[in-house]
Amino acid sequence: MKGMTTRQLSLMALLTAIALAIHVAEAQIPAPVPIPGVKLGLANIITVYAVFTLGAGPACMILAARILLGSLFAGQAISLLYSLAGGLLCLLAMLPLRKVLTRKQIWVSSVIGAIFHNVGQILVAIVVTGTPAIASYFPVLLLSGIAAGLFTGFAAQALIARMDKRKKQ
Amino acid sequence: MKKTSFWVILIAAVALLAGVAAVWLQIRGAGATIANIYQDGVCIRSIDLSSLTETVTFTVEGPAGTNTIEAEHGRIRVSHAECPDQVCVEMGWRSDGASPIVCLPNKLVIRLENTAASATPEIDGVTG
């Protein structure tokens, strides 16, 4: 990126570290339901924050760094594939929404991002296992994704509102 | 800028569709008794669970280690797995075709269906 300030770089590094810490901590929590891919996705709070306050480039870099390092620290090699496909689709869905949503609607981007994350996960699962039957998990995955997206979305929106207020002071 | 109600309706519609699909899959899967075991998308074994009279145990090898599969009258499960996440073990017993048992590291899928998908179906459930 051209013209990135030291301030911006430090902020991105800090956000990556926070996202990574959340990612690793969440991996220690046992899955609430025994369905592969169901998770809260708390690190998504940081992605949403980065998308709405730093823009596309930084958000993409933070997400990529978090997924790569997160899979290295907490997951297995195979989970990297799911996270990358899910994360990439999620980001692609969120970016255009940035222009459309107001500051009070930021949570919407998280939910729609979660839906696309699920689409990415299930597509990779079908390709990896060669079994389209896995798609029968999609409805359940979608419902849990929407719920998790609502939660992380409102959390991110509250965070952004707080930070906006601080900047004004 | 769209109104918030637009987004709420959109998301609610997707959730409703997912809910309907989940219920439909549940109904459609009822009554299936033939367990088809797929690895890498190929059915490696079919067992008619309704004809089993005693518990059948066998193992399947995969890149992430061994899965031990336990089948008995009307139901099937993965009783032991060497992979670290143990998701397939926690998925527990399956007695209908609503949702398959999946072991992603070993690319293993166990599905209850109405017909045997294996080339050499073991309808009597005898194991070697």
Give the tens place of pLDDT for each residue, B59-97. 999 888 899 999 999 899 999 998 877 888 888 888 888
Question: How sure is the predictor about A133, in pLDDT bands with cuts at 50, 70 and 90?
Answer: confident
CA distances (Å), A117 to each of A7, A41, A121, A145, in order? Answer: 30, 10, 6, 8
> In terms of C-beta density within 10 A (0-12 exposed, 13-18 middle, 19 or more buried), how is residue A126 classed?
middle
Rounded Cα–Cα distance for residues B47 and B123 (Å): 6
Mutate to test the interface with A, among B2, B5, B7, B91 (most CBs of A within 10 A): B7
pLDDT at A33 over 80: no
Range in A27-36, A69-78, B22-31, B114-123 the model is least confident about:
B114-123
Q: Given an 8 Å threshold on Cβ–Cβ distance, is B91 in contact with A104?
A: no
By the 10 Å C-beta count (0-12 exposed, 13-18 middle, 19+ buried), A15 is classed as buried
Encode pLDDT of A36-89 as tens digits. Answer: 778 888 999 999 999 999 999 999 999 999 999 988 887 667 778 888 999 999
The predicted pLDDT at position A75 comes to 67
Residue in B83, B91, B104 nearest the CB of A125:
B104
Label residues B88-109 b or e (16+ Cβ within 10 Å = b).
Answer: bbebeebbbbbbbbbbbbbbbb
- What are the structural domains, with CATH classification, of chain A? 6-168 (1.10.1760.20)
Q: Which ipTM score applies to this complex? A: 0.84
Q: How far apart are the first and last CA of chain A?
A: 30
Look at B33 and A143; give whichever has higher pLDDT. Answer: A143
Residue B86 confidence (pLDDT) = 80
CB contacts, 8 Å: A36 with chain B: 85, 87, 102, 104
The dihedrals phi and psi of B79, each to the nearest 5 degrees, come to -90, -25
Report, as an integer, the average pLDDT of B110-128: 67
DSSP for residue B94: B
